[in-house]
Structure 1
Amino acid sequence: MCIYEHTKGVQVIKLLFLLIFSTQIFASSLLELIEQAQKNDLVEVYKYKLDSTGKAYEATKSSYLPRVDIGAIEQFTSPADSLGAGQIYSAYAEVTAVLIDGFKRENLLEEKEKLNIASKHDLQQIKKDISLEVASIYFNMQIIKADITSLKHSKIQLQEQLHQQQRFFKAKLTTEDNVARIEAAIANTDYQIELKKYAYDEYASKLHTLTNTEIRELKQQNIIEPKDVEAKELDSIKSMQAQVESIGYKAEQLESTNYPTLILSDKYSYYKYGDDGLKKLGIPNVERIESQNVVTLNLSMRLFDFGTASKQKELVLSEQNALFSELIYKKKEVKENIKLALRAIEKAKKLLYASELSQDASNRTYKIVHKKYKARVVDYVNYLDALSNKIEAEAQYNRALGALQISYAKYYYNAGFDIKDYIK
């Protein structure tokens, strides 16, 4: 019998060890979740946009390099005149270069470069947005998880009291309504647990969408308290600034139509003739040209367009002014958000301190009431009230703890930093 009990005990220990070990294997840390989320499909969209703007810049740059064209022409004429040729075959190679275009080239390249810079900042900003969202979900899940644990402990204590009251009822030492009230309290606790579980599952579903990872368990990680952290400009602000500048360069391109354009081309052609009328006439010392090189310098300038270019420029500048006004507003908003984030940290610290005091007081009160209840000095109403206050104090503490971590995350976000760099 002793050997059996010993073997059974060893098996239980092994089972517990495996459960704990497997939980640690499948548990996800905050840093892992953020890194996984920053590889999701939404981030890929911004990567493609960045790639697109980069290629647009390179394509624009290449379009202003000298262009080389080759071609061939085959011409048949019937009937051909007496001096003409019935068949003309030609091949050519042509080099074309834009020498002057009224500064359109420079402004177009600057526009594309600024759009590429804006895309780079958009990519960085979406990663930081995702980091904040993951961190908020993560700490809310931790809060709910702690609440569920507290409620389960409460249920265990209520079940113990229920068994005691049932024994008392059988011994006719208590009434049936006392038993029914504790049963109702247990049922209400079950209801609260299920609500919390559903809320946890909702957050887990959101986290799964962001990370494409099945959330089984969460590893405990915290965010480092921000100390002497100087705020820097947000990537969203930098992106908007680059967009404002790109629109300015777009407006200058419209102005370039009022300046001269100079294009240089050099075309070399080779000809071959069939059914040649000149040869039939037999005119001496007269031959057709078999090869020819033509250099062309084309200068053009628009003198009058009924104000079309200037009106188009005014339209683009209006768009720039609108975006610039939005940029000014966003900068003010960011400054206020940083102030609010600092106040949120101060508030969260005060709430955490208050909740610690409340939890300590409710725990001590519960212990006293619990002893009196066992000694039947106080009734079940006082006991349930003390237990309820204890659970609520624990929940307040958990919420305050999570709120402090979220306030740290929001400060780093509003200060222009990626939260994943400040996780411990």
Structure 2
Amino acid sequence: LPLLLNAEGLKSLLKHAQENNELVVSQKYTEQSKQKELDSANSNYYPTVDAGIFYQRDDDASPFRPGTTYGASVKVGFDIYDGGKKSYTSKQKNSEHTSAMFSYSDTKKSIALAITQDFYNIKSLEASLEAREESSKALKAQLERMLKFYDLKLATNDDIDRLQSAYDSNVFAIDSLKFEILSLKSALELKVGRNIDSLDDSKFKKTLSQQSDELDSIQALRANKTALTNLSETVDSFYYPNIRIEDTYSLYGYQDEPSIGGTPIEQLDNQNTIMATLNMRLIDFGVIGEQKAAIALQADALNEQIKYKSKEQKMQLSLATRRIETVNLNIKSSQSALKSATSALETITKKYNAGIIDNVVYLDALSSHTQAKAFNEKSINDLEIAYAMYYYYNSKNIEEFIK
């Protein structure tokens, strides 16, 4: 009862993972970092304002200059034309931020799918464990019964050895299953970011009428390719002239002012300077050209990845639908097999207890029933995984489809 009350639902696990999984949090910080870079690029459109102070002392000052000069200045600068550097840089950072957002979303969806697979695989293993434990109880009861017969000289060593061997093998299988559950549960806890006691019977909505969207991972690649295109334009802008205007206002103060005949020589108290500059790259011996070629190759590499990922998504969507159909058939088959194995075990157990058949037939029937029961539960859980993969490859948030 406590395990049932504390059972974890898949939806709550996915929600917790999206807020606490380290890989998801890392992508979130990356997205926020790209947003700051975009904000910085957009701020480049505004004028710059610089302020400074200075202090100058000459040990051997000229007769007409003061020995000590100090002052402060304020400079306002603005790029009138930069060949498009700021514009393309802003577009590049915007595309990089878009890519980071898609990568963040893709990481959340990928982690959600991995958690879902672990969730239902654990439930399948737990079903196998339960079947094995039931089988172990039956084997132990039959072994104890056979030992009593042996004491009465109604059973042979061979009868005892067969049951003991089957029981010991089952104990080993149980221990192996417990280790598999522990390993998978540890991996699930790592992805979720917290300890997990037990799992509930979460189910997905069963619908195949979803409109397919492009995977976030592919959209992230497309955004990165766009960023490279804008980076190429930024590099190309270095061939264009850069026109900048600056206005500097300065204040001056003096000590040890020079004088002629007792009359101080007048010095500047303030000065306003306006300067316009034009810079243009004339020769760089192919530096810019090589940079553009390198960027173009990077864009080509991304384009090939996009082609591959698009084909892969199309393939996985086709397989996802086919997988659901196959698992549904598997469930029908496993239910029939379980029904048959249950009926056969009941009949054979009665005959075995009556001494009509030997323990070989009984052990075979018990083994078939154990496998059928575990396989049926696994088929049911495989269907949930199949639908989760279908929603994932349609680029949906799978937690929205949990009942």
Deviation at 1:54, TM superposition (A): 1.0
- CA drift of 1:300 comes to 1.7
1:354 aligns with 2:333: yes
- Partner Cα separation in structure 2 for residue 361 and residue 272 of structure 1: 105
Alignment of 1:11-160 (within 5 A): 20=1, 22-38=2-18, 39-160=20-141
Following TM superposition, by how much is the alpha carbon of 1:215 offset from its aligned partner in structure 2, in angstroms?
2.1
Q: State which of 263, 275, 300 in structure 2 corresponds to 1:321.
A: 300
* Residue 254 (structure 1) aligns with: 235
Percent of aligned pairs sharing the same letter? 29
| Residue 377 (structure 2) aligned to one of 380, 385, 398 | 398
- 1:66 shift after superposition: 1.1
Partner deviation per Cα, 1:235-279 (whole Å, 9 max, x = no partner) = 1111111100001111111110111111111111112233333x3
Provide the residue aligned with 1:207 in structure 2: 188
Stretches (4+) displaced over 4 A: 281-284
1:307 to 276, 286, 296: 286
Structure 2 residue corresponding to 1:270, chosen from 251, 268, 274: 251
Aligned partners of 1:215 and 1:162: how far apart in 2?
A: 36
| RMSD over equivalenced CA pairs, Å | 1.7
Question: What letter matches 1:301 in structure 2?
Answer: M
Distance in 2 of aligned mates of 1:225 and 1:86 = 89
Q: 1:416 deviation in Å? A: 0.4
Q: 1:75 to 1:163 in 2, by over 3 A?
A: closer
Q: CA deviation at 1:349?
A: 1.0
- The reply to whether residue 375 of structure 1 matches residue 354 of structure 2 is yes
Please say if residues 226 and 412 of structure 1, whose CA atoms lie closer than 8 Å, have aligned partners that are also in contact: no
Q: Is the 8 A contact 1:53 1:112 kept in 2?
A: yes
**In the alignment, structure 1 residue 336 sits paired with structure 2 residue 346:** no
- Quote how far apart the aligned CAs of 1:138 are: 0.7
1:322-361 Cα offsets, whole Å, 9 max, x none, are: 1112111111111111111111111111111111111111
CA distance in 2, matches of 1:113, 1:387: 64
The structural deviation recorded for 1:89 is 2.2
C-alpha distance in structure 1 between counterparts of 2:243 and 2:149, whole Å = 106
CA drift of 1:230 comes to 1.1
Match of 1:185 in 2: 166
Q: 2:392 aligns with which of 406, 413, 423?
A: 413
Write the distance in 2 (CA, Å) between the matches of 1:321 and 1:337.
24
- How many residue pairs align between the two structures? 402
Q: Distance in 2 between matches of 1:182 and 1:362?
A: 20
Aligned to 1:174: 155
Taking the aligned partners of 2:83 and 2:7, their CA distance within structure 1 comes to 62
Letter of the aligned partner of 1:347 in structure 2? Answer: T
Offset at residue 140 of structure 1 (A): 0.7
Q: Distance in 2 between matches of 1:281 and 1:423?
A: 97
Q: Which moved more, 1:233-242 or 1:214-223?
A: 214-223
Q: Distance in 2 between matches of 1:200 and 1:260?
A: 67
Q: Deviations over 1:293-342 (max 9, x none)?
A: 11111112222222221221111111111111211111111111111111
State the alpha-carbon separation in 2 of the partners of residues 160 and 73 from structure 1.
97
Q: TM-score, normalised by structure 1?
A: 0.91
Q: Distance in 2 between matches of 1:381 and 1:328?
A: 58
Q: 1:377 aligns to what SS in structure 2?
A: coil
* Alignment gaps of 5+ in structure 2: none
Worse-superposed segment, 81-90 or 324-333: 81-90
CA contact (8 A) 2:204 2:401 kept: yes
Contact 1:230/1:415 (<8 A) preserved? yes
Provide the C-alpha distance between the structure 2 equivalents of 1:326 and 1:281, rounded to a whole number of angstroms: 84
Shift of 1:282: 6.2
> In the aligned structure 1, how far is the partner of 2:3 from the partner of 2:368?
32
In the alignment, the residues of structure 2 paired with residue 341 and residue 305 of structure 1 have an alpha-carbon distance, to the nearest angstrom, of 54
Aligned to 2:273: 294
Which one is further off, 257-266 or 29-38? 29-38
- CA, structure 1 residues 92+281, in 2 after alignment: closer, same or farther (shift >3 Å)? farther
TM-score w.r.t. the length of structure 2 is 0.95
Partner residue in 2 for 1:217: 198
Q: Matched residues in 2 for 1:252 and 1:153: separation?
A: 70
**3-state SS of 1:276 partner:** coil
Question: 8 Å contact 2:127–2:378 — kept in the other structure?
Answer: no
Q: Please give the secondary structure, in 1, of the residue aligned with 2:256.
A: strand
Q: Distance in 2 between matches of 1:57 and 1:354?
A: 57
How far did residue 281 of structure 1 move?
4.5
Return the offset for 1:98: 1.4
Paired amino acid for 1:135: T
Aligned-residue offset at 1:229? 0.9
Q: Offset at 1:168? A: 2.0
User: Counterparts of 1:53 and 1:230 in 2: how far apart (Å)?
Assistant: 30
In the alignment, is the contact (CA less than 8 A) between 1:144 and 1:196 conserved in 2?
yes
8 Å contact kept, 1:91–1:271: yes
> How big is the shift at 1:132?
0.7
Please state how far the C-alpha of 1:389 moved relative to its aligned partner.
1.0
In 2: Cα distance, 1:223 partner to 1:149 partner:
23
User: Partners in 2 of 1:37 and 1:321 — Cα distance?
Assistant: 35
Q: Is the 8 A contact 1:87 1:273 kept in 2?
A: yes
Paired residues of 2:218 and 2:306 also in contact (CA < 8 A): yes
Q: Which amino acid aligns with 1:141?
A: I
SS of the residue corresponding to residue 31 of structure 2 reads helix
